[in-house]
Amino acid sequence: MLRTLWGLALLLILHPLIASAELAIVAFPYPPYLMEDSSGPHGYVTDVWKEAVAGSEFDGMIHFYPLPRAHLMFRSGRAWVALGSADHYQAATSGQGFSAHRIGQTPFVLFYARHGAPMPPASLRELRGDTVCGQRESAATRALEDSGLHISGVTDIQSSISMVLAGRCKFGFGASYTIQASSEAMGVADQLGFVDFTFISVGLDILVSDAYPKASELNALLHRRLMEMRRSGALSRIAGHYFHNSASAYVPESMIVTKIGTH
């Protein structure tokens, strides 16, 4: 019994070392950018990552978690790579440096229930003092709060859609394609309307922690291959699979690498 306990204790002590032997990659459900189903991980950001690192030592398994858990994994160093948006992770990784490879952007919009629909606003100023439902996204939340709106935070976009349809919020907010994909999966897409303006665009990024021992090698590989994918049209091809006629809006004019924070 004592030997077993010592074995378990040793395993816990060595766990960080064991985990560091392979590249841990985290993502959170964010359709159609990040998704996981019976066919495995897919989505625009996921597919770009997989093609960029294909055949390299960095081609590891992607682990999906709810957004707060993905934050924790990346912030604590239990994951070296995060897929999603630098905006999602920046506020949650105070003090930890990382490189963000920008591979696109997504527009954020307001949506509402068509039945008993409110008068769609022409700007955020018309909603000053109102409460809107949505996930707390750093840049999107700041834009709404700076315009005098209150945020009723939810854990996922499905909850936001349900609250709007139940009349608990006049408006919800989120990434336009995420709202469309989620409402279609819920079978309620025809019950939602969209306000006809984008109040902010949020980046889509591949994040590499400065704490990763091979960060410089991975960053160099990503920058080189993402440049090649842009020139060859591979980014547009992947975007076209998910965004159809709007594909060109998701491919950046140049491959930007941003250093965020310090380690």
For the stretch 183-234, pLDDT in tens is: 999 999 999 999 988 898 888 999 999 999 999 999 999 999 999 998 898 9
For 145, the domain range is: 106-200
Looking at the structure, tell me whether residues 160 and 184 fall in a common domain.
yes
**What are the tens digits of pLDDT across the range 152-191?**
888 788 999 999 999 999 999 998 889 998 999 999 999 9
pTM, 2 dp: 0.81
Reading the block at residue 146, the tokens are 């700076």
63 and 157 fall within a common domain: no
Confidence of residue 18 (pLDDT cuts 50, 70, 90): very low
38 and 61 both lie in a single domain: yes
Q: Are residues 60 and 187 in the same domain?
A: no
CATH number at residue 167: 3.40.190.10
- Lowest mean pLDDT segment, chosen from 9-18, 30-39, 98-107: 9-18
For residues 213 and 183, membership in a common domain is answered with no
User: CB within 8 A of 87, min separation 6: which ones?
Assistant: 137, 138, 139, 140, 202, 203
Residues 38, 16, single domain; the answer is yes
Average pLDDT over residues 251-260: 69
Residues in a beta bridge with 171 = 132
CB atoms within 10 A of CB 248: 11
H or E element at residue 142:
helix 138-146
Of 181, 200, 219, which marks where a domain is finished? 200
In angstroms, the first-to-last Cα distance of the chain is 42
Work out the average pLDDT over 136-141.
77
Does 183 lie in the same domain as 233? no
Q: Which range among 11-25, 163-177, 230-244 has the greatest average pLDDT?
A: 163-177
Structural domains of the chain, count: 2
Share of the chain above pLDDT 90, in %: 45
Q: Are residues 129 and 153 in the same domain?
A: yes
SS3 category, 168: coil
pLDDT tier for residue 3 given thresholds of 50, 70 and 90? very low
Q: How far apart are CA 145 and CA 136, in angstroms?
A: 11
> If you search the block for the tokens 């990346």, which residue do you land on?
74
Q: Taking 50 as the threshold, does the pLDDT of residue 149 lie above it? A: yes
Tally of residues, the chain = 263
Tens digit of each residue's pLDDT (9 = 90 or more) over 77-135 = 899 999 998 887 775 555 568 999 999 888 899 999 998 777 888 889 899 999 999 88
